[in-house]
A = this chain, B = another copy of it.
Amino acid sequence: MRSSLTSCLQEQPLVECLQLELPQPSLNDNTGDLDRLGRAIKHRGFAPLQFNPLRVKEFAQQIRRENFKVTAVLGFNECHWELIDVLPGLSKHRNLGFAVDLGTSQVAFYLVDLKEREILAQTSIANPQVVYGEDILTRILFARQKENLQTLQDLLIEAFNQTMQNMLAERNLSASNVYSMAIAGNTTMSHFLLGLDPTNICKEPYIPAANRFPFYHAKDLKLAVHPEALVYVFPNVGSYFGGDLIAGILNSGLHRSEEVSIFVDVGTNAEVVLGNRDWLIACAGAAGPALEGGVVERGMMAAPGAIDRVRIDPATLEPSYRVLGKQKPVGICGSGLIDLMAEMFAAGILTIQGKINTQLNSPHIIDTPDGPAYVVAFARETSDGKDLYVSEIDVGIFLKSKAAMYTILTVIINKVGLSFSDLKHFFVAGTFGNYIDPAMAIRIGMIPDLPVETYQGLGNTAGYGAAMLLLDRSLLQDIDRVCNQVTYIELNVNMELMNEFRGALFLPHTDPRLFPSVQIPEGGLAMGN
């Protein structure tokens, strides 16, 4: 994170505070008060400058009251500068902003100091709309009624305001010094935030009400920061390619490099962007939930109580694990599952077909109503006092997800006639990207067999990308370019795709030449029971 932000040290923020000592009026200079301010601002290179007509009166008064010594707060609105406020005197004023990753489940907030170029605080809350539907589709259906759409918007705004207020209060900072916000969400979330009708997003031909949004002002959305604060909502490329991905690309730098890289965001869907500074191709597929810890019986998000690391002694078949937070294990999260599958496979517990080898002699291999299973933690170790195990059915579900992921990656790389070895970087977004152990993921054939240093976890790329924009307004041009460059491809279910998928259902793959570094363990080829 720190490195991402410091990389743009020479860049200029979205909002700037200019301390201006204006020349006193005289008979030789009959420039009007406000024009005097405008002239000084333009001389500093901020042009064209646009005055908000509603504040002309107030600003002119402020200039006189402060005897021509004022601080101008200027916001960059793409084709012109806006005078957000005229503050008294030449003392230092804070220049704050909020970057927000507006996810379907979670909303992450970053309080940014635009002048000191640092993130002062960050926090994450559950998306309050969850009560009206866990998934996007349910919420879109709920929003069909106009007042419900309003309800969803109100919920978000309220949660935004409360969270921002808390973050500011904890640091004794004032909302009136927050002059900018950058919000990156998927297409539907952005529609909800702006109160736009999302109906057509999920109806063929899947057209959003708007892909690009104008700059809003905080007051337009009832956001409780400076009323004239610029609010930038990242544009979408389409219904299935949202502003969160645009912000992610920005954060990865993929779009600026000569070399080809790939960017993967595993959420509800796995979203993939491949390209370089000249071209970008993207697709998405339902690879996600199991990889993130969902669906699988004892799967869970990376949160306290989640097992996130697993090792299995191949000699004794005894597991060792790490739990997030200081507590007994509750479940197992995405990176834990990947570790577990990889270690079970390496220890010969899992066959290449994903079957559990019940002929092995270990108290950890048990029989359950869901068939054979491997116990990671016995009842005495877990927080709910029940065995924490993974059954063959769980393994099957998981393998479908990992196969879907590998299939998507294969399809997109084939589409442009490249091979995985052409990739300079393989960026993995999300908490998932930070926790995952690439060697393990390679071992199960979820991601291609590349040198592990190719893999780079980026964390919350949407939130970081939004924060970067606050610190570097030139990225607006990048966003524009990225939006125009992205070619989104639909993954039609065809024979080629099905063949790819079937091969990828195995551990690591039916074609071992694709994973030369993975050693097929002894007994790995044995059929399960």
Give residues in A with beta carbon < 8 Å to B: 25-27, 29-35, 38, 48, 50-54, 56-57, 60-61, 64, 78-80, 194-197, 200, 204-217, 220, 236-239, 488, 490
CA distance A25 to B207 in the complex (A): 7
Given A32-B211, A61-B197; 10 other pairs, CB 8 A cutoff: A25-B205, A25-B207, A30-B237, A30-B239, A33-B209, A33-B210, A34-B211, A34-B212, A53-B214, A79-B79
Neighbouring B residues of A60 by C-beta, 8 Å? 196-197, 209-210
With A32-B236, A35-B211 already in contact, the answer to whether A56 and B196 are too (CB < 8 A) is yes
| Nearest chain B CB to A240 CB, angstrom units | 9
In the complex, what residue of chain B is closest to A32 when comparing beta carbons? B211
User: Do B79 and A32 have beta carbons less than 8 Å apart?
Assistant: no
List of 10 A-B pairs having minimum Cβ-Cβ separation, nearest first? A32-B211, A34-B210, A60-B209, A30-B238, A51-B214, A25-B207, A53-B216, A32-B208, A32-B210, A27-B205
User: Do B48 and A214 have beta carbons less than 8 Å apart?
Assistant: no
Q: Summarize A's interface: helix, strand, loop or mixed.
A: loop
| Nearest chain B CB to A372 CB, angstrom units | 45
| Nearest chain B CB to A121 CB, angstrom units | 27
CA distance A212 to B39 in the complex (A): 11
User: Do B57 and A194 have beta carbons less than 8 Å apart?
Assistant: yes
CB-contact partner of A79 in B34, B48, B205, B488, under 8 A: B48
Return 10 A-B CB contacts under 8 Å, by A number: A27-B205, A27-B206, A32-B208, A32-B210, A32-B238, A33-B209, A34-B210, A34-B212, A48-B79, A54-B220
In the complex, what residue of chain B is closest to A153 when comparing beta carbons? B57
User: Do B57 and A197 have beta carbons less than 8 Å apart?
Assistant: yes
CA distance A64 to B200 in the complex (A): 10
User: Do A30 and B210 have beta carbons less than 8 Å apart?
Assistant: no
| Nearest chain B CB to A491 CB, angstrom units | 13
Neighbouring B residues of A25 by C-beta, 8 Å? 200, 205, 207
